[in-house]
Structure 1
Amino acid sequence: MHDYFIGLMSGTSLDGADGVMVDFSGDRLRVVASASEPFAGSFRAELLALNAPSHNELHRAALAGSELAVVYARVVAALMHQAQAQGIYAVHVQAIGAHGQTVRHQPQRTSNAPSGVGYTLQLNHPALLAELSGIDVVADFRSRDVAAGGQGAPLVPAFHQGIFGNGDDSVAVLNLGGISNLSVLPPSGATWPVVGFDCGPGNALMDAWCLRHTGQPFDAGGAWAKSGRLIPALLGRLLDEPYFGQPIPKSTGRDLFSLAWLAEKIQPFAGERPEDIQNTLTELTVCACTAGVSSYGKKSSELIVCGGGAFNLHLLERLQTALPWLRVSTSDAHGLGPLQVEAAAFAWLARQMLRRQPGNLPGVTGAAGARVLGALYPA
């Protein structure tokens, strides 16, 4: 008996939507189909603008959520086209897990809110996606964890444990999206739990700087950064951010690591070569991630890298140099492509919701307990 789910993910890199159809019926999940669609430049710019207060933002956010649902629907159609060649049709798919596009993430408790809890906001229009696809949709995964006092993120460590966990050794998994997040997975029988948190910037600042100075949406292979030189004083200024010293649980996003944050940090270095700043921004990501691994993943034998940053060869080389006791690999060496991991995680979260099983790890997010995550939008 097959157990088909679709997962959709569009992350803080704002580069597009990734989707997978997976079959959970075996001992390990099987990827049936995968597809992605880049965001149009104008849509990407609008999503980036909606990360900060702006004119008429409620109206514009509603329109952006609908546009995202249309992009998601096209990804689903591409997945179904591949699946139909294998005799799999929409009626066989139990649900779509659609994360939405995070534009605000403020989960911290606040005295300004009557409930005392913060919030997290993902643009989406799951009802429209259900209408367009003819498949049940599960969305809004983070809110219940935040309502229970948690960060609402990261939600993938439980999935990482099931997919990448090694019975004999501790393994660390680093997702390099716009923001970087780390999962440290204990071996079987360990007395310590899964650890997970956001390290800080991943690709977001590097991509923005690359686009501004080269016109390219990302630094392919990290070649531009590698051509530059480190600016130690700038790196020190970038690392002088209180978030890096905060204890876990913690999560972050473009609310903090924004273009305005970057502009303020680099202002004294306006005369430096752009490629040298790119090299330094890459090193910022390396430092943020290696600090997390050094603090919580010392017992790990391997660092598995996924997300778009897994294709940045210079970044991978720097991670391996900074973490010589670990073997640095990418997730495709473990059966799941770097751009498939987070999408597959949201397929798994949709499955957890339909089975009324928890999707969060309270020790990771800080929530008061395990919670069933997500809301169902029937087709």
Structure 2
Amino acid sequence: MKEKLLFINISGTNSKVKLYENGNISENFEFKIDGYQKGKVIENDSFFESFRNPKLTRVLNYQNIDKLIFGVSPNEISSKVEVLPIYSLDSTKPVVEKDLSIKTNFVDDNYSLLHSISLGYILDGKDVLSNPTGMHAKKVESIKLNVSINNEYIDCLKKLCKLLSITCPINIISNSIALTNELIDEENKDFGCFHINIADDLTELSMIQKNKVLDLAVIPVGKENFYRDIEISLDINSKDAKLLVENFGTVMPELIQENDHLLVHTNKGQEEKILNKRVGAIMRERANELLQISKKYFDEKSKGKISTNRVFISGPGSNYDGFDSLIKYVFQNFIYRNEDEKNVSENYLINYYTKELNNLKDFNLANENKNIFNKKILKNNNLIKTKLKKLLKIG
């Protein structure tokens, strides 16, 4: 791959940037994003100004970027199954490869399509196959999972690109889909599992089986909520709350064998001794609530889609002591992780892109502007034709 690809991952309160060319990462840095909270742009000007970062500006000004790829973790994501008719005949005919190249009919005034994932093909209303080429059937239908996010988010990214004078093709990838595909091992992706990724600001849920993502959801709770809960419950400042979580972080306080404590000052100026078990009890309440919501989602959404007894857990918010035990208690399932999560998570967006680049939607601003221009010309031409008809009394 000789193209220069610029990856901008927007997740949490930071943006991670990588320039990928000739199989190597030549630029790798991150910067803080303002005006952005829990997967949503809350203040446009601050958000846009964050991307005036000197390092990013240098890359955009002095590198000839062939394509820009955004990785996004929005506060809301939609995934809906679509069944598309391919053909319906009176007699059987063999399915050829050309029949399977059908595209989605996705149309929504409020959402923009990111991914249209093939879930298989239905033959004669019965069998579902991943590749029915060569088989005979009277009726063939395609099943797709359409993954979309709201237009407000997409419009912000488009405006950002215009402000940065970006004219190259643009792809937008769901971080949840990319991470599920790249982080989970092949056995679990094939057998089927529920994926819970507890990121800094959000928790992303997904289901996968036979290497196909079947559904997605987002919960607006992440690692930072553990800090916030301690801060509010103990009436202390955010710095001390983070110190307590980093020192005593556990979601199973009953497993603590030795008592320990730290002295902190409350916001009222009083010095207070905070026990490790007290910190753990507050964190457990938050973790249990998050897992119960996740379980309810999987119980409801998995019906008729997937039957599994496996939960795959990831993300910085899942690394506290006792998390695996608590998940096992809530779900009564087998728990899995990727032992090399830290390294795999570094380049999951690049790895997913290289595998799926031919299936990604192109958000080309140049083409978009051209289409708008052409529509205006067509509209003007129609107006001229109408006026001429009236003058000549035609029609």
The alignment's TM-score, normalised by the length of structure 1, stands at 0.50
Alpha-carbon shift at residue 181 of structure 1 (Å): 1.7
Unpaired runs of 5+ residues, structure 1, are 81-88, 109-114, 143-153, 231-272, 360-371
Q: What is the DSSP-based 3-state SS (H/G/I as helix, E as strand, rest coil) of the residue aligned with 2:210?
A: coil
2:336 partner amino acid:
V
Q: Give the Cα separation in 2 of the matches to 1:220 and 1:330.
A: 27
How far 1:281 sits from its partner (Å)?
1.4
- Written as runs of structure 1 = structure 2, the 5 A alignment for 1:90-101 is 90-91=63-64, 94-99=66-71
CA distance 1:20–1:51, change in 2 (3 Å): closer
Which of residues 162, 171, 183 is equivalent to 2:206?
183
**Contact residue 249 and residue 321 of structure 2 kept, 8 A:** no
**2: CA distance, partners of 1:21 / 1:181:** 26
Residue 286 of structure 2 corresponds to which residue in structure 1? 281
Question: Residue 223 of structure 2 corresponds to which residue in structure 1?
Answer: 203
| CA deviations over 1:196-246 (Å, ceiling 9, x no partner) | 22252333533443566442486787654528869xxxxxxxxxxxxxxxx
How much has 1:68 moved relative to structure 2?
A: 2.8
Matched, 1:169 2:191: yes
Structure number with bigger Rg: 2
Task: Summarize the alignment of residues 340-379 of structure 1 with structure 2, pairs less than 5 Å apart.
Answer: 340-341=347-348, 343-344=349-350, 352=357, 355=358, 357=359, 359=360, 372=361, 374-376=363-365
1:332 corresponds to: 340
8 Å contact 1:17–1:38 — kept in the other structure? yes
Structure 2 match to 1:69: 51
In 2, Cα distance between equivalents of 1:75 and 1:311: 31
Task: Report the counterpart of residue 18 of structure 1 in structure 2.
Answer: 16
Name the aligned partner's letter for residue 69 of structure 2: G
Range with bigger deviation, 309-318 or 214-223: 214-223
Alpha-carbon distance between aligned partners in 2 of 1:3 and 1:163, rounded to the nearest angstrom? 25
Quick one: distance in 2 between partners of 1:318 and 1:182?
Answer: 17
Structure 2 distance, partners of 1:180, 1:327, is 17
Counting only pairs closer than 5 Å after superposition, residues 191-270 of structure 1 correspond to structure 2 as 193-200=212-219, 201-203=221-223, 205-210=225-230, 213-216=236-239, 223-226=247-250
Deviations along 1:17-42, whole A, 9 cap, x unmatched? 1234557x9xxxx7736744352xxx
1:127 alignment partner, one of 146, 159, 162: 162
Residues of 1 paired with 2:26 and 2:320: CA distance? 24
CA contact 1:96–1:138 (8 Å) conserved in 2: yes
Question: Structure 1 residues 286, 64: CA separation in 2 closer, same or farther (over 3 Å shift)?
Answer: same
The higher-RCO structure (CA 8 Å, 6+ apart) is 1
Instruction: Tell me the CA shift for residue 180 of structure 1.
Output: 1.5
Deviation per CA, 1:122-162: give whole Å up to 9, x if none: 3441234456xxx83626x48xxxxxxxxxxx664267336
* Equivalent residue letter for 1:65: F
Q: Is the contact between residue 207 and residue 218 of structure 1 (CA under 8 Å) also seen in structure 2?
A: yes
**Aligned mates of 1:331, 1:169 — CA distance in 2:** 19
Shift of 1:9: 1.9
Query: Aligned partners of 1:77, 1:312: CA distance in 2, in Å?
Result: 39
Q: Distance in 2 between matches of 1:222 and 1:69?
A: 30
Structure 1 partner of 2:9: 9
1:279 shift after superposition: 3.0
SS of residue in 2 equivalent to 1:70 = coil
Q: Is the 8 A contact 1:169 1:187 kept in 2?
A: yes
CA distance in 1, matches of 2:244, 2:3: 37
Determine if contact 1:179/1:198 at 8 Å carries over to the other structure: no
Q: 1:166/1:130 Cα in 2 relative to 1: closer, same or farther (>3 Å)?
A: farther
- The aligned counterpart of 1:319 is 327
Letter in 2 for 1:32: I
Deviations 1:321-376 (CA, angstroms, capped at 9, x unpaired): 54564242147349512x554x4488569x74xx5x3x4xxxxxxxxxxxx35344
* CA distance in 2 between partners of 1:49 and 1:335 (Å): 24
Describe the superposition over 1:182-206 as per-residue Cα deviations: whole angstroms up to 9, x where unpaired.
Answer: 2222136xxxx52222252333533
- 2:317 is aligned to 309
Superposed CA offset, 1:95-131 (max 9, x none): 22135785x75979xxxxxx86464433441234456
Contact 2:206 2:215 in 1 (8 A): yes
Instruction: Look up the match of 1:47.
Output: 36
Q: State how far apart, in whole Å, the 2-side matches of 1:129 and 1:204 are.
A: 30
Aligned-residue CA RMSD (Å): 4.9
Aligned amino acid, residue 185 of structure 1: I
- Which protein has the bigger strand share? 2
SS at match of 2:250: helix
- Structure 1 residue 49, shift from structure 2 partner: 11
Q: What letter is aligned with 1:194?
A: V
